[in-house]
């Protein structure tokens, strides 16, 4: 079968894509920065019969990204499919963000897309066969408030992915730009929150969990694998994201004005106290705030447990 490399493959959407690729006969190489998380993912995938190689890798580092591709070749002989999915989410108003936040976001979600792609391109072009899948975001088409480092990096990734698709079309190498809307992966527990953390955590956790607003992540992962099989160039995974992208394309100024109104409903940064992951913010909420939020985010907490978003040392969700 085809050999697939999935960055950010230890949890969440990357883990699900790896899980969907394996039954199609694909040995999978999953990469992430956390060795323990990778091992939990490997065990879960292996239980389903997948052939899995794990590689500890920071894709924001060019040499590590190249070593990832080398490790895949050394084990399986080639790379047929590259899925660039590694990401980080930083939530809060711009006044609470630092230059380092933007640098980190661009490192992981732009250079972390570019470096692996450039590493696999020579062999794919030589064989005139291969598929690069870049998982971007609706935030790479419409810059929503409170996610500015994330949006900036994703806009860059969309530009790279679409341009790469156009250039490689003549070489027999397919590039698919995946544009997810909100998905129920439990990622809000690992997102980084700044500013008034409890309030930022509240709106983001609800948005990435509630039905109608967010999409079942397993269905989205199956849609990505379907797009690979069909050779599609672009996939926007949710109806709200499709509507937002089209509305913004037709009425960009109006979209920005409406997003500005939405931003007014959210608080200013207050006294900025650095960043905390969502699982830590949730653990310190008052019972009066935590109980209704836990009820409302039940689907998200279930997803977090199933998709390896939490480890044995994390606070209970």
Q: What are phi and psi of 214, to 5 degrees?
A: -110, 160
Dist. CA 14–CA 30, nearest whole Å: 8
* Helix, strand or coil, per DSSP, at residue 13: helix
Residues 239, 214: Cα–Cα separation, whole Å: 9
The residue among 111, 78, 89 whose CA lies nearest residue 7 is 111
DSSP per position, 14-28: HHHHHHHHGGGT--E
Backbone angles phi, psi at 161, to 5 degrees: -65, -45
Please write down the long-range contacts of 65-68, taking CB distance under 8 Å and 24 or more positions apart: 65/112, 65/115, 65/116, 65/119, 66/115, 66/119, 68/5, 68/7, 68/29, 68/31, 68/116, 68/119
Which residues carry out catalysis?
A: 150
Structure tokens at 70: 């080398």
Please provide the DSSP assignment of 244-270 as one string. Answer: HHHHHHH-HHHHHHHHHHHHHTS----
> CA–CA separation, 272 vs 245, rounded Å?
32
């Amino acid at each position: 079968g085809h050999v697939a490399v999935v960055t950010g493959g230890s949890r969440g959407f990357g883990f699900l894509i790896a899980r969907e690729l394996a039954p199609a006969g694909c040995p999978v190489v999953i990469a992430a920065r956390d060795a323990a998380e990778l091992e939990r993912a490997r065990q879960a995938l292996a239980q389903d019969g997948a052939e899995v190689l794990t590689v500890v890798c920071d894709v924001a580092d060019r040499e590590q990204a190249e070593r990832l591709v080398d490790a895949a070749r050394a084990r399986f002989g080639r790379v047929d499919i590259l899925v660039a999915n590694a990401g980080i989410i930083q939530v809060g108003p711009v006044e609470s963000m630092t230059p380092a936040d933007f640098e980190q976001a661009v490192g992981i979600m732009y250079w972390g897309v570019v470096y692996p792609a450039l590493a696999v391109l020579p062999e794919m072009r030589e064989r005139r066969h291969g598929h690069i899948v870049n998982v971007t975001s609706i935030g790479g088409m419409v810059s929503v408030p409170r996610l500015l480092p994330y949006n900036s990096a994703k806009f860059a990734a969309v530009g790279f992915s679409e341009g790469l698709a156009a250039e490689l079309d003549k070489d027999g190498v397919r590039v698919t730009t995946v544009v997810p809307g909100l998905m129920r992966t439990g990622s809000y527990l690992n997102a980084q929150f700044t500013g008034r953390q409890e309030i930022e955590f509240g709106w983001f956790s609800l948005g990435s969990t509630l039905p109608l607003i967010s999409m079942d992540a397993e269905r989205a992962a199956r849609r990505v694998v379907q797009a690979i099989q069909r050779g599609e160039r672009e996939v926007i995974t949710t109806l709200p994201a499709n509507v937002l992208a089209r509305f913004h394309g037709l009425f960009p100024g109006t979209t920005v004005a409406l997003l500005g109104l939405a931003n007014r409903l959210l608080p200013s940064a207050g006294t900025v106290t650095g960043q905390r992951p969502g699982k830590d913010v949730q653990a310190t909420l008052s019972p009066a705030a935590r109980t209704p939020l836990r009820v409302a985010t039940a689907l998200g907490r279930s997803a977090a447990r199933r998709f390896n978003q939490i480890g044995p040392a994390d606070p209970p969700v």
